[in-house]
Amino acid sequence: MAIDKEAIKEHIRGILTALGDDPEREGLKETPDRVARMYEEVFEGMNYTNHEIADMFSKTFEDDLTIKNHSDMVIVKDIEIFSYCEHHLALMYDMKVSVAYLPEGKVLGLSKIARICDMVGKRLQLQERIGSDIAEILMEVSGSKDVAVYIEGSHSCMSARGIKKQNAKTVTTTLRGAFDHDDTLKWHFMMQAGK
């Protein structure tokens, strides 16, 4: 489903009017079009399901990383993303995502991990869902059931309005497979991701 830019423009004009302003005044004439183009960009991920994102970024490299029945952990940390909260359409910012997985005979291109995180953020989201969506996609692409996602971010619905706590950070963890039941593996991941 493509984003309907014409409908967005019309609704933005209505919001400007509802706010008591004149959408035809010089400073606002192009605002509906600018907002529609911005929404098309920042909500690009809404055009795709998790499975379609997995297909887009499914480049892997066949490699046996298993040595003497030990699996090496791959961690990519501090991937910067942003998103918009579905409750207030407010920006979630200064978000850093750390991802780990245990390869199952193939490894992902590292840039693909960052691209998956970025695309998942480009939806109306909850921080908790961002973690579970990233985990689901990485499990599909990598073929590994052992995936972990750690996210730390700020939410403008808390910092710019309401309670106005500018320094509040939200931390979420999503643990799948061995990361969920192996305390040593979980501890190792959290030590790396939480730094």
- Which whole-number Å values give the CA distances from 85 to 8, 82, 160, 173, 185, in the listed order? 18, 10, 13, 18, 31
Answer yes or no: 155 catalytic: yes
Catalytic status, residue 87: yes
Q: Which two tokens stand for residue 177?
A: 């497979």
DSSP string, 56-71: HT--EEE----BTTBP
117 is catalytic: no
Note the residue count of the chain: 195
Catalytic residue among 11, 40, 157, 192: 157
The catalytically annotated residue of 11, 44, 80, 88 is: 88
The amino acid at residue 108 is: L
Give the residue from 109, 84, 85, 115 showing the smallest Cα distance to 97: 115
- Other Cβ atoms less than 10 A from the Cβ of 13: the count is 16
Q: Which of 148, 65, 59 is nearest to 108 (CA)?
A: 59
| Given 85, 104, 140, 188, the catalytic residue | 85
Active site residue 11: no
Of these residues, 6, 24, 52, 86, which one is catalytic?
Answer: 86
For the annotated catalytic residues, the residue numbers are 85-88, 127, 155, 157
